[in-house]
Amino acid sequence: MEPITLIRSGTVVLPATNIDTDQIIPARYLTATTRGELGTALFSDWRYDTEGHPRPDFALNQPQADGCRILVAGRNFGCGSSREHAAWALHDWGFRAVISTEIADIFRGNSLKNGLLPVVVGEDAHRWLLEHPGAEIEIDLAALCLRLANGTVVPFPIEAFARHCLMNGIDELGYLLAQDEAIGRHESLAG
Amino acid sequence: MLSPPGTLLDKVWDRHVVVPETADAPAVLYIDLHLVHEVTSPQAFDVLRGRGLRLRRPDRTLATMDHSTPTDPAQIAGRVPIAVESAARQVRQLTRNCQEFGVELLGMQDERRGIVHIIGPELGLTQPGRTIVCGDSHTSTHGAFGALAFGIGTTEVGHVFATQCLLQRRPKTMAIEVTGRLGPGITAKDLVLAIIGRIGINGGTGHVIEYLGSGIEALSMDERMTVCNMSIEAGARAGMVAPDQTTFEYLKGRPRAPEGEAWERAVADWRALRTEPHAQFDRRVSHSADSVEPMITYGTHPGMVVPIGGRVPDRPGDAVHAKSLAYMGLQPGERLRDKAIQAVFIGSCTNARLSDLEVAAKVFAGRRVAPGVRVLVVPGSQSVKRAAEEHGLAKIFIDAGAEWRESGCSMCLGMNGDTVEPGHYCVSTSNRNFEGRQGKGARTLLASPAAAAAAAVRGRITDPREFLH
């Protein structure tokens, strides 16, 4: 996993609330048996018409979305299914962070494990972000803050261990494997 | 200093902490049972292979096939190939992976196969006090037994394969106290839809819900599973019910439940799991079962729900609400009752246990499916299927004109080709009415098995109490 310390990029804005993982990646794309390239299927049913042509009015299809690494979305992003394919698809498309006022639990956990930073901000910062699609902003994981183009600095919380992993590009499995002795002890006590 | 009296969650949690959490790191939490299916496991097996790791506890791991598998008997029996090639590939891959890593697999033709959340309890593997995970958000179902059970992503599936542990922060607790009792013809599905409508689809985010009170104690295990199953639809990763006599009676004699003296010891241990009388929850909600009516969703998430006799809410200025109604082809203020529907799905981990099929059969008995309505009845497991056939339920469905299928997730998420036509309304006993969930353009109306069967018979949204005397 590539380490993340600072993300500076324009934003893509999807203001809808409760964007569920079925929208992020519909179930028919879950038949893959490898991580593969899921970026093309990201938001498939919103992004393409019935003939499979890109809908020009959808945010991801607009030229200014190219190269954007930050998605700003309405409240309760990522609710629904536990499919990690949702985080994979966002990451594969090029996103490295998702900002919302609330991010669903399982999706948040999956994102943290895949180099996709879930950023939860307050209503005011969120409103500014929704009103300024494409704005160039900075997410500073070291300083735990967001810097908006209007000069505002917005702090955000993140679980300490997940931050450590993201900043150093390490995954949790190595840490868990190193607990082998404690796990063995628990197993012999619990039977 | 005395520590505060514990909740059911606290007690189960504390028993499974391998390394306590600190400010710097989450707890290492031991997992007793890992359920595996074909869709969210292949990449996790690849991680084991890639790192040269073994699967730590195959004896605590059970795999089955449910999400992408066909429900057509000929395809299940292998008389014809699996129609969806990518699904066939996942099925083959899971078989190979289970062989390579020594995991027990209840495969395509195994008589114990079924939806992962239905077979765990059936086999008696789902037990009070256990920690249970699966790469599926409806793992919350197993909490009905007083287990801590939650859905995980594929990376975490790999963690459990390799270490039998997960890194977790202790979640917050939320008590939902259900007072009173459900009225005649009102089901656990109506109750949980009413609760989600009340607290919202993010009402439980960050929390584990414990359902308690007389309205919960009166429920059967099947009904408790329906309630806990949909905890994730309120944003909570897990829902729990304290084990009691109903739980013990369900489990006793199940193939993988403890026996003899071990059973007696287990029950004594399970009784101690109940939340202490003065335990503190981070949040408490009280809900009356007496006032619950038959419910139906009208929008594109499970919180958009009203009584069947109600109207589509009007939310002027709410663009998301308007977009949702446009997708559903509904108008604000519109009455839902008597709206014509084109499809009915009776199935899924929410409502495909034998008791669900019994309620549906009561409605179908001596009646016919309305012309132009497609009805799919998909039992939750092969064991439910056999029982429904032995008890004559299957014959009632078939005689009524419904399609009677092999078990699996089927039309709940439409991965296996069982989908709803674009623009069609489908009254479904499943758990999610998200856009496109049952097929591109499909319009899902979530309801109970009774309401689904009543809609099938009339071809219109119907209060099932008309058929249940």
ipTM: 0.96
Whole-angstrom Cα distance, residue B39 to residue B41?
6
Answer whether CATH 3.40.50.12710 is correct for domain B10-168: no
User: In this predicted structure, what is the pLDDT of residue A32?
Assistant: 80
Give the dihedral of Cα atoms A58, A63, A69, A74; nearest 10 deg.
Answer: -20
* B39 interface with A at CB cutoff 8 Å: yes
Going by C-alpha positions, the residue among B85, B67, B87, B69 that lies closest to residue B77 is B69
Q: Is the pLDDT of residue A1 over 90?
A: no
**Residue tagged 């380490």 (tokens):** A3
In a domain, A121, yes or no: yes
User: In this predicted structure, what is the pLDDT of residue A186?
Assistant: 98
Going by C-alpha positions, the residue among B4, B14, B13 that lies closest to residue B276 is B4
User: In this predicted structure, what is the pLDDT of residue B4?
Assistant: 66
**DSSP one-letter string for B276-319:** PTT---SEEEEEESTT---EEE-SSSTTSEEETTSB----TT-H
Of the partner residues B42, B320, B413, the one whose CB lies closest to the CB of residue A16: B320
* B365 interface with A at CB cutoff 8 Å: no
Going by DSSP bridges, is the β-strand pair B165-168/B27-30 parallel, antiparallel, or unpaired?
A: antiparallel
User: In this predicted structure, what is the pLDDT of residue B86?
Assistant: 86
Residue pair B42/B274 in contact by the 8 Å Cβ criterion: no
Q: Over the range A12-40, which residues count as b (16 or more CB within 10 Å of their CB) and which as e?
A: bbbbbbbbbbbbbbbbbbbbbbebeebee
Residues 139-168 of A with CB under 8 A from B: 159-161, 164
pLDDT, tens only, B74-97: 999 989 999 988 889 999 999 999
The parent domain of residue A52 ranges over: 6-190
Q: Is the pLDDT of residue A29 over 50?
A: yes
**Residue tagged 């009173």 (tokens):** B180
**DSSP one-letter string for B208-240:** EEEEESHHHHTS-HHHHHHHHHGGGGGT-SEEE
How far B389 CA sits from the closest chain A CA (Å)?
Answer: 31
Averaged pLDDT for residues B350-365: 98
How far A145 CA sits from the closest chain B CA (Å)?
Answer: 19
pLDDT, tens only, A140-173: 999 999 999 889 999 999 999 999 999 998 889 9
Residue pair B192/B226 in contact by the 8 Å Cβ criterion: yes
pLDDT, tens only, B118-151: 999 999 999 999 999 999 999 999 999 999 999 9
Helices B116-123 and B382-390: crossing angle in degrees, nearest 10, is: 70
Whole-angstrom Cα distance, residue A165 to residue A111?
12
Cross-chain Cβ contact B414/A28 below 8 Å: yes
In a domain, A1, yes or no: no
For B14, B147, B198, B210, B274, the CA distances from B10, given in Å and listed in that order, are: 6, 11, 26, 11, 10
Going by C-alpha positions, the residue among B413, B383, B405 that lies closest to residue B77 is B405
Share of chain A above pLDDT 90, in %: 90
Whole-angstrom Cα distance, residue B318 to residue A71?
22
Residue pair B222/B328 in contact by the 8 Å Cβ criterion: no
Whole-angstrom Cα distance, residue B94 to residue A52?
31
Task: Kindly indicate the confidence band of residue A2, based on its pLDDT and cuts at 50, 70 and 90.
Answer: confident
Q: Name every chain B residue with its beta carbon within 8 A of the beta carbon of A15.
A: 319
Query: Which H or E element spans position B165?
Result: strand B165-168
Of the partner residues A17, A26, A182, the one whose CB lies closest to the CB of residue B436: A26
For A38, A42, A130, B42, B358, the CA distances from A61, given in Å and listed in that order, are: 16, 11, 18, 31, 49
Q: Which one is predicted more confidently, A190 or A184?
A: A184
How far B467 CA sits from the closest chain A CA (Å)?
Answer: 33
Q: How many domains does chain A have?
A: 1
Residue pair B263/B232 in contact by the 8 Å Cβ criterion: no
Whole-angstrom Cα distance, residue A118 to residue B333?
37
Residues 150-189 of B with CB under 8 A from A: 151-156, 158-159, 162-167, 169
Residue pair A130/A72 in contact by the 8 Å Cβ criterion: yes
Residue pair B281/B173 in contact by the 8 Å Cβ criterion: yes
Q: Name every chain B residue with its beta carbon within 8 A of the beta carbon of A45.
A: 435-436, 440
Cross-chain Cβ contact A160/B25 below 8 Å: yes
Task: Kindly indicate the confidence band of residue B2, based on its pLDDT and cuts at 50, 70 and 90.
Answer: low
User: In this predicted structure, what is the pLDDT of residue B148?
Assistant: 98
Specify the CATH number for the domain of residue A96: 3.20.19.10
Q: Is the pLDDT of residue A191 over 90?
A: no
On the question of a common fold for B10-168 and B296-463, the answer reads yes
Residue pair B301/B230 in contact by the 8 Å Cβ criterion: no
Kindly report the CATH number that applies to the domain delimited by B296-463. Answer: 3.30.499.10
Task: Round the average pLDDT of chain B to a whole number and report it.
Answer: 97
In a domain, A185, yes or no: yes
**Structure tokens, A29:** 């794309």
Rg, chain A, Cα only: 18
Q: Is the pLDDT of residue B1 over 60?
A: no
Going by DSSP bridges, is the β-strand pair A6-9/B374-377 parallel, antiparallel, or unpaired?
A: unpaired
Q: Is the pLDDT of residue A54 over 50?
A: yes
Whole-angstrom Cα distance, residue A109 to residue B358?
39
In a domain, A56, yes or no: yes
Going by C-alpha positions, the residue among A104, A64, A60, A101 that lies closest to residue A86 is A104
Answer whether CATH 3.30.70.260 is correct for domain B172-288: no
Of the partner residues B28, B43, B166, the one whose CB lies closest to the CB of residue A34: B43
pLDDT, tens only, B102-118: 999 999 999 999 999 99
Q: What are phi and psi of B246, to 5 degrees?
A: -60, -40
**DSSP one-letter string for A48-98:** B-TTSPBPTTSGGGSGGGTT--EEEE-SSBTBS---THHHHHHHHHT--EE
**Structure tokens, B428:** 């479904």
